[in-house]
Amino acid sequence: MNYRTGKILLITSLLLLPAAFSPARGEEPAFSYTHIHREGSVSTMETGRVETREKSSKKTTHYDISVNLPSSPAAGGLLYPYLAKNGLPGDVHRRRGESDVYGYGVTAAFRNKKGWGLLNREGHEIVPAFWDSMSYEGNGLFQVKKGKKISYITADGRVAFPDREEGPSFYREKGKYGILDDRGNRVTAPLYREVLAPFSEGIAFVQLSDGRKGGIDGSGKLLFTAEFDSVGPYEDGLAEYRRKVNRFNWGTLAGAVLGGLGGSGGGDEMLPLSYDGVKRGYLDRQGRIVVDSRSDEVYPMTEWGTFVKDHGLLGFVNRKGEYIIPPGRYDLSGGRLYEEEGLVTLRDKEKGKMGAFRLEDGRQVMDFLYDRITFLGKDRVLYEMGGKTVLSGESGVIRELPSGAVMQPYSEEGLAWLEEGKKIHALDREGKILFTLPEGEAARPFRHGLAPVKSHGLWGLVDIHGQWVKSPLYKDVQMM
């Protein structure tokens, strides 16, 4: 692939699921799309949340398109919330596989005072509101929680049971742990003082009777020893380890980037992030340190790698620990990481301007000339330069937008919401306003021809013509 720096921006086409984006006017979605490695014990979910936990493919298909950007300061920008000084790029557009939930007749989850339920493709309630939380596990199966009880249901609300996880597991006897095979037969006697992380990708972390910590295989063979305070299961060849420190917490990780400790990428969402003060590092399957926790700051792992800050300089390393973007005086605040496209926007501390890099090889694809940059998918980009806000495409500038306008990424229908003052417009790919919501306090992106819209404090669904399909009746509606 040939990439020209300077005024050429390369964008890979992007199909983004609507529920993965924050709504217009600063509404915070309760829906989070998170890749969860499901080996080991069942994860506990927060009350009042709906999640999708489907595993996604790591295979990337690139469709590179050149978008010409003007060299003169005649372009504009998109206003997004300013994040903490130590934040990972303001939002992370996570890679996700195509959800199969629509094939089971489900289009959205809704919440009222009784809890969460499900809506079908026509917007009718097919599972009444009842559950404190709900997560889609794939293959038409939903994990639901009521109080402290976790169970499973199908798309029509019937009780169901998940398939048993294959592979070895642990049992406890007389205060120690041993290994069982996938049929429940004992493989080892109770040998281990503690199980530190369950089997994942054929390796588990344990503490041995002599106090050492390390990784073992399903037969109990010790593969390596390592030093850490805590560790998570392997995901895609990497395991996150942590060490304790007494220091000020710089921020909070807004949502579970990687399903908690041990995540290593492949999540399916866009999340606002900030560095959380955790002294983390990453081990490969041989127990070798590929990202050292002794660096000043190590950020959560993505599919492409992670940011590492040391001695005041910030760089990006790949999943082998090799620098892709060499350390420099970069600021993550106001930036964004697009995992599907393999792009990131950063701010140059000295110039105070935004630029963009390709994560595959660290090539800079936009110079540090812009006040703001936002990739919108569907071969579209919104940027700010010289005080003007511009929507641009493959052939150049499409239209200038009102200063400070907020625009969401395009959905698969080729529609995007534009907020202009107190008005919310639906734009097509050519920047044409198709309709303006007659009433609406917030809107979320379209999915399968429907979009959640908030009016008078309640959420409903509108179609691609702006007509109510489901009147605003709910505390929340999230597309699935």
Reply yes or no on whether the pLDDT at 178 is more than 80.
Answer: yes
pLDDT of the residue at 421:
82
CA distance 467 to 135: 29
Confidence of residue 45 (pLDDT cuts 50, 70, 90): very low
Statement: residue 6 has pLDDT above 70: no
Count of domains in the chain?
A: 1
What is the band of 218 on the pLDDT scale with cuts at 50, 70, 90? very high
Q: Which of 230-239, 265-274, 424-433, 466-475 has the lowest mean pLDDT?
A: 265-274
| Domain assignment present for 162 | no
Q: Is residue 236 part of a domain?
A: yes
**pLDDT tens readout for residues 243-257:** 886 443 323 322 222
Is residue 57 predicted with pLDDT exceeding 60?
no
Per-residue model confidence (pLDDT) at position 339:
81
Among 34-38, 132-136, 321-325, name the most confident range. 321-325
CB neighbour list of residue 165: distance below 8 Å, 6 or more residues apart: 38, 39
Which pLDDT does position 342 carry in this prediction?
A: 87
Integer Cα distance of 404 and 71 in angstroms = 21
pLDDT for residue 275: 65
In a domain, 208, yes or no: no
* Letter string b/e over residues 397-435, b meaning 16 or more CB atoms within 10 A of that residue's CB: bbeebeeebbbbbbbbbebbbbbeeeebbbbebebeeee
Region 270-275 average pLDDT: 43
pLDDT band at residue 269 using 50, 70 and 90 as cut-offs: very low
Residue 95: the pLDDT is 44
Q: Do you know the residue count of the chain?
A: 480
pLDDT tens by residue, 345-363: 999 999 999 999 999 999 9
Q: Which of 65-69, 136-140, 320-324, 446-450 is least confident?
A: 65-69
Question: Model confidence over 76-99: pLDDT tens digits?
Answer: 222 212 222 233 444 554 444 456
Q: In DSSP terms, which residues pair with 195 in a beta bridge? A: 206
Q: Compute CA 252 distance to the chain's CA centroid, rounded to the nearest angstrom.
A: 15
Distance, in Å, from the CA atom of 212 to the CA atom of 348, rounded to the nearest integer, reads: 44
Q: Tell me whether residue 56 is in a domain.
A: yes
CA distances from 90 to 81, 83, 185, 221, 274 (A): 8, 6, 48, 43, 8
Residue type, position 381, single letter: V
**Structural tokens at position 26:** 């600063």
Averaged pLDDT of the chain: 76
Report pLDDT for 277: 76
What's the average model confidence in pLDDT over 40-68? 35
**Could you read off the pLDDT of 387-423 as tens digits, one per residue?**
999 999 888 999 999 988 889 889 988 999 999 888 9
CB 456 within 8 A of CB 468: no
Name the most confidently modeled range: 19-33, 84-98, 185-199, 407-421.
Answer: 185-199
Q: Is residue 63 part of a domain?
A: yes
What pairing do the DSSP bridges indicate for beta strands 354-358 and 364-370? antiparallel
What is the model's pTM? 0.70
Look at 377 and 158; give whichever has higher pLDDT: 158
DSSP string for 313-328: EEEEE-TTS-EEEEEE
- Strands (DSSP E) along 402-467, which ranges? 406-407, 416-420, 423-427, 433-436, 442-443, 450-455, 458-463
Look at residue 461 and tell me if it is in a domain: no
For residues 270 and 453, what is the distance between their CA atoms, to the nearest angstrom?
Answer: 19
pLDDT at 54 over 50: no
Domain that holds residue 252: 1-152+226-408
pLDDT at position 51 is: 52
Local structure of 267: helix, strand or coil: coil
Summarize the confidence of residues 190-210 as an average pLDDT.
Answer: 96
Q: Kindly state whether residue 64 falls inside one of the protein's structural domains.
A: yes
Burial letters 376-393, b for 16+ CB under 10 A, else e: bbbbbbbbbbeebbbbbb
Query: For 140, which DSSP code?
Result: T
pLDDT reading at 67 higher than 50:
no
Distance between CA 298 and CA 294 in Å, rounded? 9
State which H helix or E strand residue 205 sits in.
strand 203-207
Q: DSSP 3-state assignment of 104?
A: helix
76 CB-contact burial (10 Å; exposed 0-12 / middle 13-18 / buried 19+):
buried
